[in-house]
Amino acid sequence: MEQRDLSQLDGRWIVVTGGSKGIGLGIAHELLRRGAHVGIVARNPDDLATARKELEAAAPAGAEVAAFRADTGDEADVARLEGELRDRVPALSGFVANAGTGGLTSFLDLDVAEWDRIMRVNLRGTFLVSQLAARLMIGSREADPDGDRSLLVVSSVRAHQFRPGTLPYSCTKAALNQFVRAVAVELAPHRIRVNAVAPGMTVTPLMLERTPNVEDIAAQRIPFGRAGQPSDVAQASAYLLSAAAGFVTGANLAVDGGEALI
Ligand X SMILES: NC(=O)c1ccc[n+]([C@@H]2O[C@H](COP(=O)([O-])OP(=O)(O)OC[C@H]3O[C@@H](n4cnc5c(N)ncnc54)[C@H](O)[C@@H]3O)[C@@H](O)[C@H]2O)c1
CB of 229 to ligand X, least distance (A): 10
DSSP string computed for 86-146:
HHH-SSEEEEEE---------GGG--HHHHHHHHIIIIIIHHHHHHHHHHHHHHHHTT-TT
Please, where are the H alpha helices in the chain?
22-33, 45-58, 75-88, 112-119, 126-141, 167-187, 205-210, 214-221, 230-241
- Smaller CB separation from ligand X, 8 or 211: 211
Active centre residues (catalytic)? 169
118-155 burial: b if 16+ Cβ within 10 Å, else e: bbbbbbbbbbbbbebbbebbeebbeeeeeebbbbbbbb
CB contact at 8 A, 140 and 191: no
d(CA 101, CA 227): 19
- Scan residues 28-87 and list those touching ligand X (CB under 6 A): 42-44, 47, 71-73
CB of 83 to ligand X, least distance (A): 17
- Smaller CB separation from ligand X, 102 or 148: 102
Among 20, 150, 177, 249, binds ligand X (CB under 6 A): 20
Q: Is 237 in the site for ligand X (CB under 6 A)?
A: no
Torsion, Cα 54 156 241 179, to 10 degrees, reads -130
d(CA 221, CA 242): 31
- Scan residues 238-257 and list those touching ligand X (CB under 6 A): none
CB of 47 to ligand X, least distance (A): 6
Give the interface segment with ligand X, choosing from 22-30, 52-60, 86-94, 240-248 (CB under 6 A): 22-30
- Smaller CB separation from ligand X, 100 or 148: 100
Site string for ligand X, 198-217 (x = CB under 6 A): -x-xx-xxxx----------
CB contact at 8 A, 36 and 117: no
- Smaller CB separation from ligand X, 84 or 147: 84
SS3 158: helix
Among 9, 13, 14, 24, binds ligand X (CB under 6 A): 24
- Scan residues 124-183 and list those touching ligand X (CB under 6 A): 125, 154, 156
Other residues' Cβ atoms within 10 Å of the Cβ of residue 95? 29
Give the interface segment with ligand X, choosing from 1-9, 15-23, 110-118, 160-168 (CB under 6 A): 15-23
Give the interface segment with ligand X, choosing from 30-38, 92-100, 178-186, 245-253 (CB under 6 A): 92-100
- Smaller CB separation from ligand X, 8 or 162: 162
- Smaller CB separation from ligand X, 18 or 39: 18
Binding stretches for ligand X (CB under 6 A):
17-18, 20-24, 42-44, 47, 71-73, 98-102, 121, 125, 154, 156, 199, 201-202, 204-207
